[in-house]
């Protein structure tokens, strides 16, 4: 795996919107925080365009992303927010210059499509972490924002959390892949699909029906992505929905049952995903994962 250079004071980051539309007031706080870190900020030319629910047309969004990928003045690319739309521009992007001059790409949720392409096809590490849309207006820096700063500036993140009743104990080290379950499901069978064999998989999701969580986990299982995992990290399964006829299980119970026949360590309720404590994780990096009865330690 290629690890992009760490940032230093004076570096410039680019902010682009590859998914849902956004307005300046929603990212102003992040710009001020980034500048407080000693970074310069450049916004994509089309970042505030609107095309339906998207931040401009596919061509406009890809134009901004292509500029950031190619520019040698941009040291990292931070996606403004999630939603939906990143997968629509993947085939419009040329990573030739980026591959010559790798840089950190940051985001989560819909940005999972980018993480998957970087991991599977380019073998370049990227940061699954909080985005400008999530920065609070009071300019405070949560642990999640601090973890993003550490990841960008080359500092190691060590997370220690309480154990969960569904956890399965074990100690492993392996390459981290994954992200948003729905996005992974949407790229299954495509050239962007991930290879989870012998790796540690992280999953999170938002605003899904429970039966759909089950459907997506069955897809992971039947496609062979679960049987040879080194470990599984389950983050937030936030704002789940049910039908009039209840599915009968929570999202965590669905995932627990989908992997019960395997013996790799599993960590539930890790602070990652569509939650305030969305800790930064480096996709593609070798991470250490130790699941004990009463606690979990993750070194990334």
Give the residue numbers marked as catalytic: 109, 204, 274
Distance of CA 163 to the CA centre of its chain: 23
- Measured CA to CA, the distance from residue 264 to residue 4 in angstroms comes to 30
Residue length of the chain: 300
Q: Cβ of 295: how many Cβ atoms within 10 Å?
A: 12
Indicate the burial class of 81 (C-beta count within 10 angstroms; 0-12, 13-18, 19 or more): buried
**Tokens linked to 210:** 């429970």
Complete edge-to-edge strand list for the sheet that includes strand 266-268: 158-162, 295-299, 286-291, 170-180, 200-206, 231-238, 266-268
Q: What is the largest CA-CA distance in the chain?
A: 56
């Amino acid at each position: 795996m290629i690890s992009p250079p760490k940032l230093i004071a004076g570096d410039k980051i680019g902010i682009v919107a590859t998914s849902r539309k956004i307005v300046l007031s929603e990212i102003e706080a992040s710009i001020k925080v980034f500048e407080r870190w000693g970074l310069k900020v450049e916004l994509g030319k089309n970042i505030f365009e609107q095309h339906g629910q998207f931040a401009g047309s596919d061509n406009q969004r890809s134009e901004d992303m292509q500029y950031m990928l190619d520019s040698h003045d941009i040291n990292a690319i931070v996606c403004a927010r999630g939603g939906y739309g990143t997968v629509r521009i993947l085939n419009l992007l040329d990573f030739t210059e980026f591959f010559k001059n790798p840089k950190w790409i940051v985001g989560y949720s819909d940005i999972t499509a980018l993480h998957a392409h970087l991991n599977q096809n380019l073998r370049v590490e990227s940061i699954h972490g909080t985005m400008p849309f999530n920065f609070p207006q009071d300019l405070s820096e949560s642990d999640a924002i601090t973890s993003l700063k550490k990841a960008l500036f080359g500092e190691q993140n060590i997370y220690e959390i309480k154990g969960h009743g569904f956890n399965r104990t074990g100690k492993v080290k392996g390459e981290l892949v994954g992200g948003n379950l729905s996005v992974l499901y949407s790229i299954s069978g495509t050239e962007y699909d991930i290879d989870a064999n012998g790796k540690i998989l992280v999953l999170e999701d938002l605003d899904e029906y429970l039966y759909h969580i089950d459907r997506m986990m069955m897809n992971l299982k039947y496609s062979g992505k679960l049987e040879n995992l080194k470990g599984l990290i389950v983050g937030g399964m936030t704002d789940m929905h049910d039908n009039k006829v209840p599915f009968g299980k929570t999202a965590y119970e669905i995932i627990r049952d989908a992997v019960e026949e395997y013996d790799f360590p599993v960590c539930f309720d890790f602070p990652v995903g569509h939650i305030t404590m969305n800790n930064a994780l480096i996709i593609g990096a070798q991470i250490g994962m130790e699941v004990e009865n009463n606690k979990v330690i993750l070194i990334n």
